[in-house]
Structure 1
């Protein structure tokens, strides 16, 4: 970015909250230090609340160290990829820090994926070991022979709940509890006990005994393998969709994610950061980089209690708000839509949550205003991507706000807007073009995809590397940024990216379908839903319901079309490309007529 660039002046800095510094020093330390330091300073303070049971920061540290030692004993070394295919639960945190502590790489896998989707991600990443739920073991076993997976480790949600259930036993698979106890005695599971604090609405009840081997016999930290981990070493492979329908693994380093943690903490009012009383309500899945960084890593770094929900259930979330009084609640827009439309929401004390933050998908201004009107608390927005660890922009907490924008760039984060056609010409302030980001949180590249990496990460004349987001945006004179249009064809359902090409690839395997195109259509609850437009082969027939059922066998639920339009043909350009814009315009016209 040259000195003549309209973005070089960084006008946005004057709108930062008073405590936010524009530049800072980053620690250059491995991510494992985040848990290690908090476990030293706040060993006995509660770190997680999950289904009625609590663990302290020292509990998490001991368990992650024990699991790391066990994984090392099974041959996991620096650079190996280990998949985590879990919903939100304490085991996710334990597994992530165990993997990171060895210098191995976390591969996040959505537990709702179909066998085909699991095969794509595990195959591309070369996962050697996979940690998942016992209920998902049959699915994993079904594709294991086609992958590099050597071992599968299973656990259950009930192990770490107040029920303190015995760990699951699945023939031929390893058990999470046994591995975390690998360095100590291994009595019969029924005789092995661990202590979990069982929470009640009035406080913490006497300790309950849980059939799990994860507490006894921890291997001391000094017996763990000594691994040098540099900031540029790979920490996470975060898969995002690709224009070819094949997901791309964004390579996020220890330095990338740690920088984003530091930036996020610096953005937060220090009164709350230093209080030691923060409580994060976590409904966004940890396998999504938003929760991985903003909830798990940031939360642990400031000693916040994480109130963990394995899935979003409005009733359970409202009960948590009423009984556990979270201070911070980040979520996707659909969550906030469901809360303001819940008939009994006013009875649960939503006004006591200090800060609500919307991310993962654009939040309609109408939703933002309605939420603030009903709840009486601010709902702020931000912006980020898998490729940026994820946050690049956020809304000031006390300074000027511009509802409908994504706020201002984070400290040490620069932006520019370039022409969409070539991506080389900077545009004036106020003009819409492709948003580009440069900062310490920007990924290293895409896993084994040099062409896609070269297209996304481009150096300017000064040698500075910029990530081309593919999102069309405009920046006003004060630096507030508005997303005009997301990546051309991408659909965002409940904060999850759906790439039409992936859904179309499944549709094209249907024997009756000749042409297929997938678009996103507005939905008041999900933000967008998937609509498929298809044309049949000559003489072939089918029904929308049959096609939807066909898609369910290969796609996770949020990717499945909610409606199918059967047409004689699809609109085409002169060179034979399907005109998605025409399909979207036609659907919009139908909505206006109705």
Structure 2
């Protein structure tokens, strides 16, 4: 028996590893589910429920509205939205119109949003009339090639009483929609009969989603995920659940703009005809109340989220009896947290793994039966993970040695948007000419096919499930006249997994009084919340390589050695 035959015989997911996922468009995946489950609840948003028939009607109206303003095949449509019903209608409506969705984080600054709008060529942007979102979107409208902003109303999707209370008592949290021909109300966009026919889609060629990521170089790039990629990953993840034909209700507190939630909250739930309980943002008290109120069967999250829920005083009064499985991703899950969560809730917490470049998920521990703590589980159906040499990805890793994890499967991206030059470093090619996605993570694979990550080649910092790019923080630090050199590294953090920390040297003519605290006070307001550093450390020197290049690797070694001494 070969090594591959051995681990396949030990496969523990509920469908065979060799399950086939024929190419399918996301339009067909959504349409078939909506037709089959028209009267089933699709969304619970703060107590207001929408069934699949209502959601499908909204999707058709968005698609028709977009077609009327000139959005067509291949155009890019940006979503600058939290977890609200508008997100689902806009996402699937844009796909029905033949457009490509561009996910944009509501945490972005104006400059960050401008960069991705320009890089992607986004023409239309969906957002809300929230004070934290609309002013940023309008600033980008003026500073970029963006053509139109579509603005939804928060109060408009709340239950009647909550809507009235919101209009009266939350006025300060909303921003007025300006009288500007480039700005359209969401309600006006969907004021139609939804009669535009869906645009023909080639699942294997047409790009459904541009998901921005640091890739393997730390420079944000748009992962091109085809309709076939995204639809396959939705079905693969759905097939992991042995109870998928029973009641399926998922608590959506992960942000839908993140690829983890895009697949594991939204698309996999649509594939099963399940219900999404959406919360606009993660708040531990609100999430615990929603668990008791709505009785979800699944809760995907990142380790920091589970930690926050465990630490909240309302945990003891929460009814977790409906929860079957919780899926952790985005950052390593430590064994103590897993044990505490399972003891407190009675639900299973399994760790999985994936990348934006893989539509979200490559592997996960089985939901039922024996798991292996400290691993990211076995590959999804139809997915192969193998190890290549850390220095030469054209060769297999030496037997018994860790290697870089590479992946093949129907969910692996086509490449990076407008970056064909990166294919040579993003993919490894085997002797048969097959392309393998290089993950940048170093791991081991045991005899049963369980994968463990032991290191990573990337410099990216994992902060509560988000990827932070040190080079971007360093670039801002270099704008300060007192900064001569800068390096940013990830430091262990009990709550978020890692947190960025900056190390700098000062210019000879630095003004008196410039210290780490002053630099941090200047730096952090220019960063997204997850990017903010916990300290700026001023040093006399920073480590360098033999050719004089600043060495992040050597700095990490120095800092870790000092911390352990």
Instruction: State whether TM-score is above 0.5.
Output: yes
Alignment map for 1:107-126 (pairs within 5 Å) = 107-126=102-121
- Name 2:202's counterpart in structure 1: 229
Query: For 1:42-100, what per-residue CA distance to the aligned partner results, in whole angstroms no more than 9, with x for missing partners?
Result: 21221111122111111110001001101001010110011000011110000000111
SS at match of 2:122: coil
Structure 2, unaligned stretches of length 5 or more? Answer: 168-173
Per mean C-alpha deviation after superposition, the further-off stretch among 549-558 and 70-79 is: 549-558
Answer yes or no: is 1:586 the counterpart of 2:558. yes
1:373 to 343, 346, 349: 343
1:244 CA drift (Å): 6.0
Give the TM-score, by structure 2 length.
0.93
Alignment match, 2:427: 457
Q: How far does the alpha carbon of each residue in 1:204-257 deviate from its partner, in whole angstroms, 9 at most, with x for none?
A: xxxxxxxxxxxxxx323xx33543433321000000125665310000000001
Structure-1 residue corresponding to 2:146 = 149
- Determine the structure 2 residue equivalent to 1:36: 31
Supply the distance in 2 between the matched residues of 1:427 and 1:505 (Cα, whole angstroms). Answer: 35
How far off is 1:411 after superposition? 1.2
> What are the residue-to-residue correspondences of 1:294-373 with 2, within 5 Å?
294-373=264-343
Q: Which residue of 1 aligns with 2:476?
A: 506
TM-fit CA distance, 1:366: 2.0
- Cα deviation code 1:371-421 (max 9, x no counterpart): 223333221010000000111101112233110000001111112111111
- Whether 2:225 is the aligned partner of 1:255: answer no
Q: Over residues 240-282 of structure 1, what are the superposed CA-to-partner deviations in whole Å (9 max), with x where a residue is unaligned?
A: 125665310000000001111121122210xx2112x211001
- Contact 2:82–2:281 under 8 Å retained in 1: yes
Aligned to 2:186: 176
CA distance in structure 1 between the partners assigned to 2:216 and 2:409 by the alignment: 25
Q: What corresponds to 2:549 in structure 1?
A: 577
Residue 41 of structure 1: how far off its partner (Å): 1.6
The secondary structure found in structure 2 opposite 1:352 is coil
Deviation per residue, 1:112-144 (Å, 9 max, x gap): 100111011111001011111223222222232
Which structure 2 residues correspond to residues 464-483 of structure 1 after superposition, within 5 A? 464-483=434-453
Mapped contact 1:418–1:434 kept (Cα < 8 A): yes
Partner residue in 1 for 2:170? none
Counterpart-to-counterpart distance in 2, 1:316 and 1:385? 28
- For the residues of structure 2 that align with 1:287 and 1:18, how far apart are their CA atoms? 27
Q: Check whether the contact 2:63–2:194 (CA below 8 A) recurs between aligned residues.
A: no
For 1:22-61, what aligned pairs fall within 5 Å after superposition?
22-61=17-56
TM-score, structure 1 length as denominator?
A: 0.89
Q: How many angstroms apart in 2 are the aligned matches of 1:246 and 1:549?
A: 25
Q: Which residue in 2 is equivalent to 1:207?
A: none
Q: Which residue of 1 aligns with 2:90?
A: 95
Root-mean-square deviation (Å): 1.9
Q: Identify the residue that residue 171 of structure 2 maps to in structure 1.
A: none
Distance across 1 between alignment mates of 2:386 and 2:186: 46
Q: Which residue is 1:192 aligned to?
A: none
Deviation, 1:426, is 0.5
Q: How many aligned positions are there?
A: 548
Aligned partner (choices 376, 382, 386) of residue 406 of structure 1: 376
Deviation at 1:552, TM superposition (A): 3.0
